Amino acid sequence: MIVVTGGAGFIGSNLVAELCARGDAPVVVCDWMDAPEKSANLGKHHVEAQIEPGELWDWLDKNGNAVTAIFHMGASSSTVETNVEFILDTNLDYSLRLWRWCAANDVRLIYASSAATYGDGAAGFVDDNDPAALASLKPLNLYGWSKMAFDLNAVTLAAAGVHPPQWAGLKFFNVYGPNEYHKGGQRSLVAQLFQQISDSGGARLFRSHHPDYEDGGQLRDFVWVGDCVDIMLWLLDNPTVNGVYNVGTGQARSFADLARACFKAMGRTETIDYIDTPTNIRAHYQYFTQADMTRLRAAGYATPPTTLEDGVRRYIQDYLSTNDAHR
C-alpha cells in the first residue's frame, strides 16, 4: 500500500493518477478535501481510502503494517503565509513526525522540498546535501524556510542513523500542468496566461526592474508536472537512491518564451503588455532560477526533460482547452 499526503493537490494528484495507472499497489490519499477542484483531481482514479491529515496517525496505527512507501506532498504551499506557528506545525513538525514513523516502521519516504529554499539564488542552485551548505541557505519566506529546515533535519537524522530505508527530498522548481486549479493566485504562469489570452487576446507580464534583464527576460526553470512524477516513480523503482535532489529541467527560460509558447499552443497572435512589478514584492523578486541537475543524473536518472514548448502545448491543448481539464 502506498500513501500520498497532499494527494488531492497539484503534484500529489498527478502522482496518484500515475500510481493508479501502474497498479503496483493500492493508493491511499491523505489530504484536506476543502475545494471542489481537489475532489475533481481524484475523480478519474480509484483510491483505496481518503483520510484527513489529522486522522493519519490513527490510520497508520491500524494499517501501517501494509504500507510500503509514503509520498509526502502535503504542506502549506503559500509563499505569503506569515503565521509562524501554523507553518511550524504543518510543514515542519508534521513532516518530522512522519519521518520518525517511517524510520521506526521500515517504510520508504519521498517528500516534497522546494526551490524556495534557495532564496534569491545568489548562492546558486546546487543541491548540496552537506548540513553546513543547507544551513547557509537564506529563503525569502516562511514556506521556503520550513522546507529548508526539514531538509536540514533529514540529512542530520540520516547521518545519525535515524532514517527510513529509503528517503528522498525533491526541490521542485517552477512546476506547471493539470490539476493546479484550486491554487488561485498561486497557479502556474501557464494557467494564468491561458486565462488572460482567452479573456482579452493578450498577455500581461511583469516589467523588469533589474538593469541586467529586459522586460520579459526574467528567467525561471519551468518544469512539466509529468517530469516530476516520472522522477518520483523512478525513485520508487530505485530504492537505494537517497538524498535531497533538485527537480527541474536544468535550463532556465524567459517569461517571454513562456508567453510565446502559450500563444502558439492557442493559435493566437502574440500580444504582450508589460506592467510594473508590485512594489510589495519588487525588493525580493527573483530574476533567475535554474536547477543544477548534476546529482540526480549522477544517481542514474537519465530521462530528458520535456521542453517548455512541448509541455505548454500539452497542458493547453490536452487540458486547459478541453471541457475537462483534470487529469
Select which of 94, 111, 118, 143 is catalytic: 143
Cell of 193: 496566461
Cell of 71: 509520498
Helices and strands, counts by H and E, the chain: 13, 13
Element (H, E) at 189: helix 189-200
Crossing angle, helix 94-105 and helix 142-159, to 10 degrees?
Answer: 20
Report the amino acid identity of residue 107.
V
Is 285 known to be catalytic? no
Answer yes or no: are the C-beta atoms of 160 and 102 closer than 8 Å.
no
Q: How many CA atoms lie within 13 A of 324 on its CB side?
A: 7
Residue 265 to residues 192, 194, 271, 315: CA-CA distances in angstroms? 14, 10, 14, 9
Q: Contacts by 206-213 with C-beta closer than 8 Å and gap 24+?
A: 206/255, 206/274, 206/275, 206/276, 206/277, 206/285, 207/274, 207/275, 207/276, 207/277, 208/287, 209/276, 209/277, 209/282, 209/285, 210/287, 212/287, 213/287
C-alpha torsion sign, points 209, 215, 216, 217: negative
Q: Which residues contact 289 (CB under 8 A, 6 or more apart)?
A: 115, 118, 121, 125, 173, 174, 219, 220, 221, 248, 252
Nearest CA among 157, 36, 129, 264 for reference residue 8? 36
Cell of 295: 546529482
Is 147 known to be catalytic? no
Catalytic residues: 143, 183
